[in-house]
Amino acid sequence: MGSTRWHKPVITLIPAVLLLLMVLSAGCTGSLQPVPGPVPVSPAMAPHDNGSWKEYPLTDLQGKGNFSVNMFAGKPVLVSVQSADCPSCIILLSRQLDEIDRLQGVRDGKVVSVSLDLDPAGGAGFITSYHARFNFSAYTTRSPTDLTLDLFHTFGPFAIDTETIPVILVCPDGHDLLLPAGVKTAETLNATLAQEC
């Protein structure tokens, strides 16, 4: 009788432990299907009302000079957030950059693309390894720690979580929004630009 009491709680606990292990081992799912609809940024979420994250002085890693996101006012800007810290995401991050690069208007400068590398200075980082393989037309830069924190405070944790393949859209009038998680195709980005900007 004593052994029956001991086995019953253990048997009921096994499914819960298995479910917990499945959730913890999930990692990057690699979904290529975007979640419908962009995530608008509420002014209450932003630490500064003036969009200070767009004012940070940045230096292009390809030698295009210094810039800030606000420098491109009047044009749509796509800011993709990248990092080599998610090895299982590298293929999806590369795919996202490919999709942005083939977006209508990027090559002729009507749409500005900025790739923001969260990797610390000194290491190769994501962008450097990407450039070694592709002729990427976007502005590329390393994110200063303060800018990364500003993105976190403005848009929430998904803006700097490279597993979600973050892309921030800044419309010509300056309003910005974090696009849905997952790889956004050039066609999806074109549709979002038409709808949101």
* Lowest mean pLDDT segment, chosen from 25-29, 53-57, 116-120: 25-29
* Domain harbouring 73, CATH code: 3.40.30.10
Query: How far is it, in rounded angstroms, from Cα 130 to Cα 82?
Result: 10
Please state the φ and ψ torsions of residue 167, each to the nearest 5 degrees: -135, 130
Flag whether 5 is in a domain.
no
DSSP 194: H
Token pair in block for residue 42: 């509420």
Flag whether 1 is in a domain.
no
pLDDT digits (tens, 9 = 90+) for 79-107: 999 887 777 778 888 888 889 988 888 88
Q: According to the model, what pLDDT value does residue 26 have?
A: 44
pLDDT digits (tens, 9 = 90+) for 5-27: 544 554 554 555 554 444 444 44
- How many folded domains does the chain comprise? 1
Flag whether 13 is in a domain.
no
Helices (H), the chain: 2-24, 90-101, 125-131, 145-155, 186-196
Flag whether 169 is in a domain.
yes
Return the biggest CA–CA distance within the chain: 79
57 closest CA partner among 66, 46, 47: 66
Flag whether 166 is in a domain.
yes
State the residue range of the domain holding 98. Answer: 28-196
Q: According to the model, what pLDDT value does residue 165 have?
A: 93
Token pair in block for residue 27: 């990692």
Partners of residue 21 on adjacent β-strands? none
Query: How far is it, in rounded angstroms, from Cα 148 to Cα 104?
Result: 28
Which amino acid belongs to residue 71?
M
Flag whether 175 is in a domain.
yes
Residue linked to tokens 């609809």? 37
pLDDT digits (tens, 9 = 90+) for 159-185: 999 899 999 999 999 999 999 999 999
Residue linked to tokens 């009038």? 173
Flag whether 19 is in a domain.
no
